Structure 1
Amino acid sequence: MLLVKATRLLLYGLLGSALFVLSLTHVTAEGNGISSPTNGERVFGTIAIRGIADTPNFLAWQLDVLLNGDEQAVASITRSKKQISKEDLLARLDTTTLPDGPHQLRLRVINIDGQYDEFFVSIIVNNADVTPTTESNSSVPRPTRVVRPTPTTLNQITAPSDGATVQGTILITGFADSPDFLSWKLDLLFDRKQDKSVTIAAERTRSPTGDFSTQLDTTQLPDGTHLLRLRVSKQDDTFTESTSSLTIANPKPNVVSQPTVCSTNILEDPPPLFSVFVIDWVRQLTDNLKSYCGA
């Protein structure tokens, strides 16, 4: 009888443990992701993107939009190293910067070991049919269609800004990433010419977040307008390229001109031990100096 009770308690304990483990697995699987907008939702104007981005080995998360669902046409929305353990606002996206049509939102949650999980939500942007706000229309404000340039690609030089004037030692930052990443290289093209370039930095290892930074001492370079070029190579021997112009204008060193020192007091009272020849030679030199200096 005691053996039967012990067996039942053991079975109940194992069953409870299994249910607990299953419940934990369910929470983890359903945790990270984009909760709003929902998959297939039609959107316009500025939208709020909400979700969860958390993991035991959390390093960072990034939110991107894949134009027409194409992973080769990616625009970055935002990146953060702050954990979002409960559903909250991830970012706001002005959809008028995107062409109308189907796109994908991608949330990438990155671990400290460089591995990451991805979560996708499809949206349909439809700003063409949005009616501008009028006083008699609706109490809910609706955006007016604004034409803006297509978002830049993810791989880019973020600092210094394009066209900046710099001097001294500067910090160059940017983003270099690709699903089939091989390497990235940062070059400086003197006078913006392709055949006059020097490599500033290069890496074959991708950082977990894709960010990079390096320093450049511009005092060792000629002044003028040059070009920074970021090239991200892929495993299929293709690459993407991003450029940014900068003007180096280091201050010129101050050259202080020293006045000419004209001294004619070489030997007014020669020592008695000097020979007559030496004294005559020194006095002749003194007379020449007086003549030269206008004394």
Structure 2
Amino acid sequence: MVIRGMALGRRTLILGVLLLVLVTVGSPAYASPPPQAGGVAEITSPKNGERLSGVVQIIGTATHPQFQRYELHFGPVPNNTDQWYGIGDPVPTQVENGLLAVWDTTYIPDGTYAIRLRVVRQDGNYTEKIVQVVIVNSEPTPTPTPSEPT
């Protein structure tokens, strides 16, 4: 009787371990989903390094399958303090190869700046594109022409 009880206990233990393994292996993993492909943040105009003055159209693409909005900002180069200024308000509509914003650069001091396009997804994550431009609104000071002695 004791031998029979040990065999039954051993079988129960093996079945219990097998059941535990099957339940663990068969359970779905609850990892975060991979980032979705297909989103684009692209500024096609102005081009990197372009010199700008006056009112400028910013052209590009801001799309994503989980799109929430896009934002445009500008900041000085270098931007050691990560200081960005909005170009217009956030836009809740996707744009493909079109007008993203109109930027009036006349109130910005001459210098090198970065334009940042940020496409924000519904989960709060984002994709961004940065291009550097040079603002040149100041008129050059005319150089006087030397007069010839008479």
* Aligned twin of 1:171: 57
* Aligned twin of 2:139: 252
Deviations 1:105-155 (A, max 9, x none): xxxxxxxxxxxxxxxxxxxxxxxxxxxxxxxxxxxxxxxxxxxxxxxx732
* Aligned twin of 2:77: 191
Q: Let me know the Cα RMSD of the aligned residues.
A: 2.6
* Aligned twin of 2:3: none
Which runs of structure 2 are paired with 1:133-282 in the superposition (5 Å)?
A: 154-193=40-79, 195-207=82-94, 209=96, 211-252=98-139
Deviations 1:38-74 (A, max 9, x none): xxxxxxxxxxxxxxxxxxxxxxxxxxxxxxxx98444
Which runs of structure 2 are paired with 1:49-198 in the superposition (5 Å)?
A: 72-74=36-38, 154-193=40-79, 195-198=82-85
- What CA distance in whole angstroms lies between the structure 2 residues aligned with 1:221 and 1:173? 20
Which structure 2 segments of 5+ residues have no match?
1-33, 143-150
Report if the CA contact (8 A) 1:183-1:202 is conserved.
no
- What CA distance in whole angstroms lies between the structure 2 residues aligned with 1:250 and 1:210? 27
- What CA distance in whole angstroms lies between the structure 2 residues aligned with 1:218 and 1:183? 23
- What CA distance in whole angstroms lies between the structure 2 residues aligned with 1:169 and 1:208? 20
* Aligned twin of 1:264: none
1:72–1:209 distance in 2 versus 1, CA, 3 Å: same
Q: Which consecutive aligned stretches of 4+ in structure 1 deviate over 4 angstroms post-superposition?
A: none
Report if the CA contact (8 A) 1:184-1:202 is conserved.
no
Q: Which of 1 and 2 has higher RCO (CA within 8 Å, sep 6+)? A: 2
Report if the CA contact (8 A) 1:169-1:217 is conserved.
yes
- Give the 3-state SS of the residue equivalent to 2:77 in structure 1: helix
State the one-letter code of the partner of 2:82: D
Report if the CA contact (8 A) 2:72-2:115 is conserved.
yes
1:183–1:208 distance in 2 versus 1, CA, 3 Å: closer
Give the structure with higher Rg (CA): 1
Report if the CA contact (8 A) 1:223-1:250 is conserved.
yes
Which structure 1 segments of 5+ residues have no match?
1-69, 75-152, 256-295
Identity among equivalent positions (%) equals 31
State the one-letter code of the partner of 1:242: K
- Normalised TM-score (structure 1): 0.33
State the one-letter code of the partner of 2:50: A
- Normalised TM-score (structure 2): 0.61
1:204–1:172 distance in 2 versus 1, CA, 3 Å: closer
- Give the 3-state SS of the residue equivalent to 2:48 in structure 1: coil
